[in-house]
Every structure is written in C-alpha cells, then in structure tokens.
Structure 1
Amino acid sequence: MTADAKERTAPDRLAAAEGFIWLTARVLEQRRFEHLFRAGSPDAVATALDAYRSADGGYAYALDPDVRGPVSQPLGAHAALTTLDEIGRCSGAAADGIVDQLATITLPDGGIPAVDPAGRDYPHPPFMPIDEDPPGALLTTALVAGVLHKNSSTHPWLAPATEFCWQRIDALTESHPYEVHAAVAFLDHVPDRERAAAAAARLGRMVRAQGIVVLDPQRPEDSHLVPGYAPGEWHFVPDYARDPGSLAREWFSEAEITAGLDALAQDQCEDGGWPIRWRQWAPGTALESRPRVTIDALRTLQAYGR
C-alpha cells in the first residue's frame, strides 16, 4: 500500500473499492456490491447466485473460489446462504433446498464434513485434503447452523446440527482461527443466549491464551501462526469481532478494537481492493477471492461506523 492509499478518507476508500469491484469482480460480487452499498436490486443478486446452483439443490462451480468443480460442497452452501441472508431471502424454500442437499451428506452425529469426498476428481487446495470417510467438521457445520439460526430456520436438519456444534465447542481446548470464526458465527445467533455467552467467553480466553489473534497490528509476529498456514496468514481482531454486536467483541479492549479497525482500513491496496492472506494455490483463486474479501472488509468498517 502506498502513502496515498493509507491516507484515504472513508468516502475515498469506498470509491476506490468500487473501482476495484467493477474492474475485477465476478458478476455475483458486482451485484452484491450494488445491493449493499448502492441500493441495487436484490433480484439481481439472486439471479447471479443461481448460476452456481447444482442439480441437487446445493452450490458449486467455485462459488467459494477455493472449492472448484460441479460437486455441491458445504462451503458453497454457506456462501449461498449468507448471500441470501444479505438480500433478506434466507428462509423458506430457497434456504430449505440448500439444507436438504446438506442432509444427504450429514454424518450420524449431526455434523457435515469439511469437504464432500465426491469432489475428489476436481481441483482442490492442499489445505482441504479429501478424506474418503470424513468426520463431521465444526467449521462447516457451525457456519451453516449460524446463518440458519440468524434466520429462525425450522428445518429438521438444524436441531441435530446444533447439538453437534455445542458438543464440539464445549470440548475445545485448542483450535485454529477459521474454526473459531465458525464457532463465533454459531454462538452469535443460536437461541440459547446465556449458554452462548458463557461459551464465547471461554473461547475468547482460549484465543488469547493460544496467541492466535494479532493484538498489536504493528507486531503481528508476536502472535502464533498456526502450522500449515501461509506465511503472513495472521488473524486480526476484526476477523473475530466482525461487528460490534458479536459476542467476540467482548474479547477485546477499546484500544485493541480501534487498532484492529485502523489496520483493516489501512490494509486496502493501491488498486482499491483488500488482499487475501491465505495460501494462493491456483491462478484464479486470489482474483476471485479478493472482491469477496473487499466486500467483507467494507461491511466490517461500516458496522463499526468507520
């Protein structure tokens, strides 16, 4: 980032991000940006999303750019559900059809795998290995259950999935950032608020004790980089507390929140987009992921009034 990019005002940051979106983003992210920041049509978002739907009702075709091929995958389902949530349509038949597909790959304990092994014949990143007999994963199950709870889903899949998430979260003694992000997404919306607050507080103490959050953006190397993560794949305060209403907000002081938001704003690149920090394993994944990350960054800054 240049000094000019660092000194951008909030309107300048949004304008630069918009230029980046028009220049680089897929149709879906262009339509999402229009809807979220320029009063664009939710119908247009829904139409763009439909291009990623599989015949079985799930979502594939690199809706999540790291999950390639035509096989419906849990991360594709989560991306679809969160997009529907953005446009106020994550309920009824639209959401139930996605969850019906997930039910076909759900394990007896109520969890869904990180990756459906049916995608073995298609490109997949080295950090998403294909397990022929995969266990249920908190990461994917909690992400999906969280957005469904946010939208008061009554799908029968949700009750056993919720119990699976509670058991896995209660048993955590150590974790990694992406799994924690998923757990927070679940705890922020699950109906038992007292239990969620207690679990989140324990999770926050674990995150700080493990050092898997950058508290001083000037010294990210002081935090713990999880083995197997890419060099520089740090996780900052706003990665955990994406909006001030999150239970994870209570994990951090005002000074830590402010420093994290300052760093997030200053992380905008000269081209107007935000970078990805995870491993780039194929030519198209960074190009397709950066607009999504850019929209996420803008939404977090907006949520905090920044």
Structure 2
Amino acid sequence: MPGDEASSLAPPTPPTPLARAEQFIWLTARVLEQRRFAFHFLGDDPDAVDTALGSYLNADGGYGHALDPDLRGPLSQPLHTAHALRVLDSLGRCAGQRIERLCRHLTRVSTADGALPVLLPAPRGYPGAPYHPLYDDPPAELLTTGPVVGVLHRNRIWHAWLFRATDFCWDRVETLRRADPYEIQSAVAFLDGAPDRPRAVAAADRLGRLVREQRLVVLDPRRRREYPPYPGHAPGEQLFPHDIARRPESLARGWFTDEELGRSLDFLAAAQQPDGGWPVRRLAWAPGSSLERRPIATLEALLTLRAYGRPLAGDPREAANRPEPGRPR
C-alpha cells in the first residue's frame, strides 16, 4: 500500500529527549543555535559558536540582524546585546577588545541616566514585536540593563559605563513594588552577577516575597488556570520557577521549595513536543520570529534540565550525577 510505503520511509523517532531535540535543531535552527547545540551537547569547538555569533556583529560594536528574533533588521539594539553576552558567557569568552568596544557602544546608546532602553529609535522602521513599542525618547529599562550588567560583572569586566548602569539596576531592583514577571527575570540576572553579594542576597529575599505575594510565577503547573495572565501577556504566557531560577546556583533558587521546583522541572521536561522542540509561550507575531525562537527555547530548556541533573540522553548514570537541589532560605 502507498501509505505503508510512506510510513516505512519515515525516519524513526529518536528514543531520548536529547536525540529528539537534536533532530529538531538540525531541521529548524539557525546556524548559531546549531553551533551552540553542538558545543553544549556534542563537545564541539566553541570557535564555531564564536564565528556564528560574529555574523551578527556590527561596525559600531553592537549586535543586530535579528539576533533576538523579536527585533528584525540590521540595527544594533540592546536586546541583541543581552543575547550576545549570554552566548559569550556560556563560552567563557566574555572578555577582551570585543567587550571593550561593546561597552563603548553601550555608552553611546544609553539614556540620560546611564542605562539601556529596550528599543532604540531608528532613522527607518524595521519590523519588531508589538510588545516592544518604539518611542522617540525611550526610557531606560531593567529588562535590558539588568541582564547586560549582570553578565559583565560576573565576568569581572570593569568599564566606566558600568558604574551608572549598576546604580540604575540597584535602584530599580530595590524599589520594585509591582513588576512584570520578565522584569523579575531580569532582576535575577542582575543580582546573580552583582559583585556586592550581601546586598544582592538581601534584595533577592525581598523580591522572592514579592513574587509569591503577587503570584507572578506559577508554583504548581497543574493549577496554572488559577494564575491569571499578567496584563498585556498572551494567553498561556506564564513563568514558572524554572524560568526564574534557571540554574541551581541562582539566588532565586531559594524562593521555591524542592517540591515546587521539582514540579516545575517535570512540567518543563514534559513540554517537549513531538517534533523534539519546546514551545514558545509568548505572542506569535510573525512566522519568522516564531520559527527562530523555538530552537532558542529548546536550547534553554535542555540547559536548564541538565543544570538540575535531569536525564536527557536516557542514561541512568545521568541521574546519579544530579546536583543537590539545595534548600530554600
């Protein structure tokens, strides 16, 4: 039968989460995400990742060309910078003249208070996600400044730009009263790299209480309908403990009990789709952006599961090497 012949020609479904994700990456991902996957999970050379990232680098020292899929076009934007720094940090290559040039670029594009807006105005418009509105005089935001400052501090970078940007982050983090969940995510990225550790611990303790009081994170995925979506977010666009405490060493890990984090990681592992990739919960505003973001989400899911010792390759020895989850403060 023709149908039987077609089914016999179909490739078999890979047996493990990692193998299914690998197939998805090769089928759908940009070169950068392919190289990142090969580096993190196949032991390939970091030079290949560095080369792929370099294709997004502009002459002004910033990054563009839709490195963050939400912003299209060639222009350097702060969201692209944050994305590039996360990649360089994962390679252990957040240093040198490239970072010096990047900090000079950040100095030029910062607002009057020395921090970064989400989106810089451009002489001509390029497509971008509707949840990142364009302003003629955009305000500084923790959403972009926090992750950039946190990564630079974690890598012991010292540049004049960091002084005012760090002060901006401290002021925003320590005065937050009503926050978007993504702003909390950025605050954690800052605090995890901030050099003043006692101050960071105190700020994280306060934010953790705020997150629970305002129900900004879904603590039990089985009861997610009881958590109303944040204003302006798409239906189902909710954050979970694993989205905030992406690594066991994060200060946000202490916000959640072992049971809460375990349920969150179970939910993350079960979210892998039949094609091997993980879904994107935010608004799908353009086909290209959605296609490019899913491999990024897949890489982040794999890295988070591995950081917490969840088995990916079907080898029971993986679980034996699982790190201790730690106790909440």
1:14 matched residue in structure 2: 18
Deviation string 1:101-153 (CA, Å, 9 cap, x unpaired) is: 11111122121111111275111111000010111111100010011011010
2:174 is equivalent to residue 170 of structure 1: yes
Tell me whether 18-27 or 100-109 shows the greater mean CA deviation: 100-109
Q: Which of residues 185, 198, 203 is equivalent to 1:199?
A: 203
1:289 matched residue in structure 2: 293
C-alpha separation between the residues in 1 aligned to 2:164 and 2:172? 12
Q: Which amino acid aligns with 1:48?
A: A
C-alpha separation between the residues in 1 aligned to 2:182 and 2:219? 17
1:101 matched residue in structure 2: 105
2:268 matched residue in structure 1: 264
C-alpha separation between the residues in 2 aligned to 1:195 and 1:69? 39
Q: Which of residues 183, 186, 208 is equivalent to 2:190?
A: 186
User: TM-score, normalised on structure 2?
Assistant: 0.88
Larger radius of gyration: 2
1:242 matched residue in structure 2: 246
C-alpha separation between the residues in 1 aligned to 2:100 and 2:39? 23
2:69 matched residue in structure 1: 65
2:79 is equivalent to residue 75 of structure 1: yes
Identity %: 55
2:56 matched residue in structure 1: 52
Q: Which of residues 144, 150, 155 is equivalent to 2:148?
A: 144
Structure 1 position 82, deviation (Å): 1.1
2:36 is equivalent to residue 38 of structure 1: no
- Matched residue SS, 1:165: helix
1:110 matched residue in structure 2: 114
CA contact (8 A) 2:61 2:98 kept: no
- Matched residue SS, 2:80: helix
Deviation string 1:11-62 (CA, Å, 9 cap, x unpaired) is: 8111110110001000000000011111111111111111111121111110
CA contact (8 A) 1:69 1:119 kept: no
- Matched residue SS, 1:63: coil
Deviation string 1:180-236 (CA, Å, 9 cap, x unpaired) is: 100000001101111100100110111111111111111111123111100100111
Structure 1 position 96, deviation (Å): 1.8
CA contact (8 A) 1:138 1:168 kept: yes
Name the CA shift for 1:119/1:12 in 2 (closer, same or farther; >3 Å). farther
Q: Which amino acid aligns with 1:160?
A: R
Structure 1 position 154, deviation (Å): 0.8
- Matched residue SS, 2:160: coil
Which stretches in structure 2 are left out of the alignment for 5+ residues? 1-12, 311-329
- Matched residue SS, 1:218: helix
2:250 is equivalent to residue 233 of structure 1: no
Aligned length: 298
2:195 is equivalent to residue 218 of structure 1: no
CA contact (8 A) 1:63 1:76 kept: yes
Structure 1 position 239, deviation (Å): 0.3
2:305 is equivalent to residue 301 of structure 1: yes
C-alpha separation between the residues in 2 aligned to 1:141 and 1:117? 17
Q: Which amino acid aligns with 1:89?
A: R
1:156 matched residue in structure 2: 160
1:4 matched residue in structure 2: none
Structure 1 position 160, deviation (Å): 1.0
- Matched residue SS, 2:253: helix
2:212 matched residue in structure 1: 208
Q: Which amino acid aligns with 2:92?
A: G
User: TM-score, normalised on structure 1?
Assistant: 0.95
